Amino acid sequence: MLLIKFLLITHFIFSVEPAIVLQSFHDLSALSIDGQNISMESYKGKKILVVNVASKCGYTPQYEGLQKLYEMHRDELVVLGFPSNNFLWQEPGKDGEIKLFCKQNYGVTFPLFSKVHVKGRKQHPIYQWLSDPLLNGWNDKSPSWNFNKYLINEEGKLMKHFGAEIEPTDTLITQYFTQGKDSGAKD
């Protein structure tokens, strides 16, 4: 009888699925490219487009589109760039070099962060959240290349994931913003 109780209890303990630990993106923080700790809560009330960026990638010209998107929708959107060297060493620079490259070549004014790992053992907590459905509610995709984009709503919930091939000003992304639609922007 004792053995049956033990087996039933063991089965119950190990067959229960883990509770979902949903967390808001606003609970996270990261170091800016200038070394300041930035709480994602400071972006509450705006949509957030998180992008893993690199300066020596075929998609690097997307910096221009990211800057344009940021300028067009800055009242309702913030673009956050996270340099990463995880894909064929396409971001070899140090933070200061990356910042200068972005400013000189693409006029980047959207927030840039210190270089991070977006996959693997050293994955930054921002990217752990973006790619773990127990944390974000549904998505399990880590970036597969540079310039993957994750759209987060005003409440800190993950809305969409876009691959590197999707341009920042593509309607797949811009459809989520209202500003600029009456100023000649295409829907």
What digits encode the pLDDT tens for the residues 76-90? 999 999 999 999 999
| Cβ atoms of residues 117 and 127 within 8 Å | yes
Domain range summary for the chain, segments of one domain joined by +: 20-172
Active-site residue list: 57
10-residue mean pLDDT profile of the chain (187 residues): values are 51 51 90 98 98 98 98 97 98 98 98 98 97 96 97 97 98 87 37
Q: Which pLDDT value is given to residue 187?
A: 29
Q: Domain 20-172: give its CATH architecture.
A: 3-Layer(aba) Sandwich (3.40)
pLDDT at 66: 98
Contacts of 65 (CB under 8 A, 6+ apart): 167, 168, 169
Q: Which residues of 153-179 are buried (b: 16+ CB within 10 A; e: fewer)?
A: eeebebebbbebebbbbeeebbebbee
Residue 174: predicted pLDDT: 97
Inter-residue contact 114 to 98 (CB < 8 Å): no
pLDDT at 1: 60
Other C-beta atoms closer than 10 Å to the C-beta of 183 total 7
Contacts with 97 (C-beta within 8 Å, 6 or more apart), sequence order: none
pTM of this prediction? 0.86
**pLDDT confidence of residue 67:** 98
Q: 3-state DSSP call for residue 142?
A: coil
52 touches 146 (CB < 8 A): yes
- Taking the C-alpha atoms of residue 149 and residue 176, their distance in angstroms, rounded to an integer, is 14
Q: What is the pLDDT of residue 178?
A: 85
- Predicted confidence at residue 170, as pLDDT, reads 98
